[in-house]
């Protein structure tokens, strides 16, 4: 039975995607890479270096930069991104998320974070949510990014649970694939048509409560 809940950050707890987009778009413009919605959606959930790789590939610039130059470009984007997320406050938490975290605490669930973002601790601090999370996966210690299940397996391990005891909230299709491969229960946040691989989908974070989850679980297992 479910004993722990794992959270993705961007797109589940708050909308940092708008700031990632703004910072990547500025870098793409500087490099002369055309921007479009499919590129923007494809960046969801990818690590910083994987995101840069996708942008360069989009502009057919993959072989134009050395690894050192690529690291420099990623650092430049991150400096810009960090300046943008300074404006985050607890008001930016998605509806119902703090109430759900409170409900989980009250009912003794373990809680961990599986975000690909190296800036996750900074973001949680701005949102004043740090104390809810028993453990946070350090993405710098991972070998593979989403859709690989590694980050989700680690997020269960650090709270001493087996994968089948964990429910994971995630907004990216790459993330849902990783959760399913890890043998955990996937709760998609977003469009049910896009997240059709998830065990259950909530299009509105305000509807994510233990009672509603329980209800959807019985529907999928019987």
Q: Give bridge partners of residue 99 from the DSSP assignment.
A: none
Among 4, 5, 7, 10, binds Mg ion (CB under 5 A): 10
> Is 8 an interacting residue with respect to Mg ion (CB under 5 A)?
yes
| Residue 125: CB atoms within 10 Å | 11
Here's the x/- map for ligand G16, 77-116, by CB under 6 A: it reads as -x------------------------------------xx
66 is annotated as contributing to ligand binding = no
Say how far residue 182 (Cα) sits from the centre of its chain.
16
8 among known catalytic residues: yes
Give the orientation angle of helix 67-85 with respect to helix 17-31, to 10 degrees: 140
**Rounded CA separation 189/169 (Å):** 7
d(C-alpha 210, C-alpha 147), whole Å: 26
x/- mask, ligand G16, residues 182-221, rule CB under 6 A, reads ----------------------------------------
Residue 10 bears catalytic tag: yes
Bridge partners, 166 (sequence order): 4
Identify the active-site residue in 8, 15, 91, 138.
8
**Cis amide leading into 147 (omega within 30):** yes
Q: CA 107 to CA 157: how far, in whole Å?
A: 20
Hey, what's the torsion of the CAs at 158, 44, 142, 93, to 10 degrees?
-30
Least distance CB 114 / ligand G16 (angstroms): 7
110 binds, among Mg ion, ligand G16, none (CB under 5 to 8 A by kind): none
Contact region with ligand G16 (CB under 6 A), list: 30-38, 47-55, 98-106, 200-208: 47-55
Three-state SS at 167: strand
Under the criterion CB under 6 A, does residue 44 sit at the interface with ligand G16? yes
Residue identified by tokens 């993330």 is: 175
* Whole-number Å distance between alpha carbons of 45 and 34: 21
- Within positions 118 to 137, which residues make up the interface with ligand G16, using CB under 6 A? 118-119
Q: Which residues are annotated as a binding site for Mg(2+)?
A: 8, 10, 170-171
Enumerate binding residues for Mg ion (CB under 5 A): 8, 10-11, 45, 171-172
Catalytic residues: 8, 10
Enumerate binding residues for ligand G16 (CB under 6 A): 8-11, 20, 43-48, 51, 78, 115-119, 172
Q: Which residues are annotated as a binding site?
A: 8-10, 24, 43-48, 51, 77, 115-119, 146, 170-171
């Amino acid at each position: 039975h479910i004993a722990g809940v794992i959270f993705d950050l961007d797109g589940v707890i708050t909308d940092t995607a708008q700031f990632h987009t703004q910072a990547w778009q500025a870098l793409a413009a500087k490099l002369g890479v055309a921007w479009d919605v499919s590129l923007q959606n494809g960046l969801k959930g990818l690590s910083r270096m994987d995101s840069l790789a996708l942008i360069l590939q989009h502009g057919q610039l993959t072989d134009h930069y050395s690894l050192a130059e690529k690291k420099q470009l990623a650092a430049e984007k991150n400096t810009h991104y960090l300046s943008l997320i300074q404006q985050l406050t607890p008001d930016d938490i998605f509806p119902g998320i703090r109430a759900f975290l409170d409900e989980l605490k009250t009912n003794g669930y373990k809680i961990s974070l599986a975000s690909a973002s190296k800036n996750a601790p900074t973001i949680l601090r701005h949102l004043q949510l740090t104390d809810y999370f028993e453990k946070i996966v350090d993405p710098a210690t991972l070998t593979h990014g989403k859709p690989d299940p590694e980050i989700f397996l680690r997020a269960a391990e650090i709270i001493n649970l087996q994968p089948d005891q964990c429910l994971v909230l995630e907004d990216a299709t790459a993330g849902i694939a990783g959760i399913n491969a890890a043998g955990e229960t996937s709760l998609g946040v977003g469009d049910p048509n896009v997240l059709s691989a998830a065990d259950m989908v909530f299009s509105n974070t305000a509807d994510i409560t233990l009672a509603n989850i329980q209800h959807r679980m019985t529907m999928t297992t019987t």
